[in-house]
Every structure is written in C-alpha cells, then in structure tokens.
Amino acid sequence: MSQQIWGNPQGWDAAEWQSDATWADRFMYIDPYFWSYFGVALALATSIIGASWGIFVTGVSLLGSTVKAPRIRSKNLISVIFCEAVAIYGVIMAIIMIGKIGPIEDIPTDQNGINLCYTYALYCGYSLFWTGVSVGLSNLICGIAVGVTGSGCAISDAQTPETFVKILVVEIFGSALGLFGVIVGIIQCSGATFPKVCPTS
C-alpha cells in the first residue's frame, strides 16, 4: 500500500489522478531515484565526452607534427594528460554521488510521514541531478578547450620550440575550468544523502 501512495501527497486514487492532477503534480511524482541516477550518468558521460573530444583533437595534431619533428613527442603528451584529467574529475564526482544514494529502510505508513520522507528524498534527488549537470557541462567545455589549445601547442612546438611553455600556461588555465565545476559540485551534493530511516518531523 505504501508504494502506491509514495509521491502522492493528496492521497489520490487513479481516477482522481486522471481528473484533478496538474502538470506540477505529475512532475513532482517523478521518482527521486530517477533524478539522482540521471545526475550520476550526466556527470560521468558528459565529462568523458569532453575529455575524449579534447584527446582526439590534440592527438591528431600531435601525430602529424611528430612525423617531421620527432623531438616534440614526449613533451606534448602533457596536453593529453590534461584532457584525461577532465575525465577523471567526472569519475570522481560520479563515485561520490553514487555513495550518497541508498534505499530507504522503513517507510512510515501514514500519509503525513510518507510526505515528509518523500520531500527529503526529492531534495536529495534534485541535488544530485543538478550536481551532475554542473559538473558534466563544465567538464565538457573544459575538455574541448584544453584539446583545441593542445593541438595548437603541438603544432607551434614543432615549428618554434620556445613557445611550448607559454602555451602550456594557457592550457593550465583551461583545465582550471573543470576544477571549478568539481569544487562547486562537491559542495552542492554534500548534504544530499538519501536517508536510511525517514525523518519524523
């Protein structure tokens, strides 16, 4: 019985859902676990899209320039490492977020208790979803930025060795963007652990 009225603050039955519910009600009815797992997927997947975009853009230029200027091989792998770091940020955030998700052990039987529990769960779910969005999008753009700069770095290093260190500074600033996303994300999801036991007030 309790599963049927989880997320159902007015205690409606099926017919009342059809006739009286608004869009806001239906939106609230989406399970918090859906939001939280979606957030985990976003954080992980978009960070990795950004990192891989960066790696392919920089890898192509690195390979081409090395054909004629083999000395740049080892130094320019740093650009690839910077892009990889962006993917690692995504993995770290995903692991932290998964640690905060867990089943609720005993859901109370009265409607009031269920509503309290559901509200708290919604808070955790939304928090994890938007953490995923903020971390994922910032890592996506950061990966692209580091990648494009890295490709320029490989090319100009092949031509003029003195420019390598200067362009590396630009890449470091670029990879700081991903770090901002991670820092804000950690703070955002810090209090969002799904409760084991429902709060009573």
**Does the footprint of another protein cover residue 66 (CB under 8 A)?**
yes
Q: Which of 10, 119, 159, 190 binds another protein (CB under 8 A)?
A: 159
Site string for another protein, 28-57 (x = CB under 8 A): -------------------------x--xx
Residues 6+ apart with CB under 8 A from 46: 90, 136, 137, 139, 140
How many residues are there in the chain? 201
Phi, psi of 69 (to 5 degrees): -135, 75
Our CB check for another protein shows the closer of 15 and 67 to be 67
**Does the footprint of another protein cover residue 154 (CB under 8 A)?**
yes
Residue type (1 letter), 140 = L
Please calculate the CA angle 134-140-146 and round it to the nearest 5 degrees: 130
Q: Which of 46, 139, 151, 175 binds another protein (CB under 8 A)?
A: 151
Q: Which of 83, 87, 93, 144 binds another protein (CB under 8 A)?
A: 144
Residues 6+ apart with CB under 8 A from 93: 43, 44, 47, 131, 132, 135, 182, 185, 186
Q: Any idea which residue has 């853009």 for tokens?
A: 57
Q: Which of 19, 22, 23, 68 binds another protein (CB under 8 A)?
A: 68
Q: Could you list the residues that contact another protein (CB under 8 A)?
A: 53, 56-58, 60-69, 144, 148, 151-152, 154-155, 158-159
